[in-house]
Amino acid sequence: MARAMWKGAIQFGLVTIPVKLYVATESRAGVSFNLLHAEDLSRIQMKIFCPVEEEVIPRSETVKGFEYAPGEYVVITDEDLESLPLKTVRSIEIEQFVEFESAATHTKFVKQAYYTEPDKIGRKAFALLRSVLQDKGLTAICKVVIKDREALAALNPYGQTMVLSTLYWPDEIRALGELDLPAEEPEIRPAEKAMAEQLIGAMTGAFDPANYHDEYRTALMQIIESKVEGRAVVTAPAAEEPSNLVDLMAALEASVKAATTAREAGTPPPVSVAEAKARKAGTAQLGSQAVDAGTEETRPVRRRKSA
């Protein structure tokens, strides 16, 4: 069973909803390595060393210290952190509600996502809040303290729960001015745009994450297994060097052809939203006509009453 990493309450107005937070994601795909001594392949040990006493000390003898001047520290205890005069230490304080589309523009940079689980006493209020957010298309902007740090966060409905996504503060997001971006937009010919739209259309389809796998990890594990079993490592073919983009139209045309061929060999070609709506409307109209026709056929003929 998952272990809660934070306990507190969602606060908005005078409403209090006791909840627990669970980390919503975990990294499984990475291959971890140990640091070894190249001479004898012994595993390197990382130890906590005290330079004053010149000896290794256990972690239990360490404390948190803040350097307020060069070489001068003040010790901060867990009791100090618990006594901070902030409501967000033990609560998710909802500051405001904003439209989901508007919030999405400012919540792109997510640090961590958490599932929220209401305590039994708060399930009704939790469900009510989730329902209103979902029906109204709103996001709750919150503040909360997690791991000794206050975070800006967004709370959104997700299935039967809500996901709390901690965000970077505005001053933590680097400005676009640091990038070497062109001062003016390059000129794009209509034919190039049309061909790009055709290429994107050929590559458009429903997204199913289950269709994607970590191919780098698979290849790396094959190398590891080959070395463990003493087999020769198969060298992958060298990647082609990227060529200078001289003829954009030629590259687009070739890409459209390749994407179209791949799509036709696999799944039916995608349709646009407008086409899908038109087909649906056409199907509904045909169905309506069929019902009307069937009604006309089965409808009894009315006879006039004789005087």
The answer to the question of residue 99 being in a domain is yes
**pLDDT of the residue at 280:** 54
The answer to the question of residue 242 being in a domain is no
The answer to the question of residue 304 being in a domain is no
- What is the distance, to the nearest Å, from the Cα of residue 116 to the centroid of all Cα atoms in its chain? 16
DSSP-based helix, strand, coil % in the chain, nearest 5: 40, 25, 40
The answer to the question of residue 44 being in a domain is no
The answer to the question of residue 38 being in a domain is no
| pLDDT tens sequence for the chain (307 residues) | 578 999 999 998 889 999 999 999 887 756 888 899 999 989 998 899 999 999 999 999 999 999 989 989 999 888 887 777 676 778 999 999 999 988 888 889 999 999 999 999 999 999 999 999 999 999 999 999 988 789 999 999 999 999 999 999 999 998 888 888 888 888 888 988 998 898 888 888 888 888 888 887 888 888 888 888 887 766 666 666 655 555 778 888 888 888 888 777 765 545 444 555 555 555 545 444 444 444 444 444 444 444 3
Whether 186 contacts 1, CB under 8 Å: no
Q: Which domain holds residue 138?
A: 6-26+83-171
For the chain, what is the domain count? 1
The answer to the question of residue 192 being in a domain is no
From CA 307, how far away is CA 141, in angstroms rounded?
Answer: 77
From CA 28, how far away is CA 9, in angstroms rounded?
Answer: 30
Q: Is 94 exposed, middle or buried (0-12, 13-18, 19+ CB in 10 A)?
A: buried
**pLDDT of the residue at 279:** 58
Q: Which residue type is seen at 123?
A: R
The answer to the question of residue 45 being in a domain is no
pLDDT digits (tens, 9 = 90+) for 192-223: 899 889 888 888 888 888 888 888 788 888 88
From CA 59, how far away is CA 47, in angstroms rounded?
Answer: 9
Q: Is 144 exposed, middle or buried (0-12, 13-18, 19+ CB in 10 A)?
A: buried
The answer to the question of residue 270 being in a domain is no
- What is the distance, to the nearest Å, from the Cα of residue 216 to the centroid of all Cα atoms in its chain? 20
| Number of residues assigned to the chain | 307
**CATH code (residue 98):** 2.40.290.10
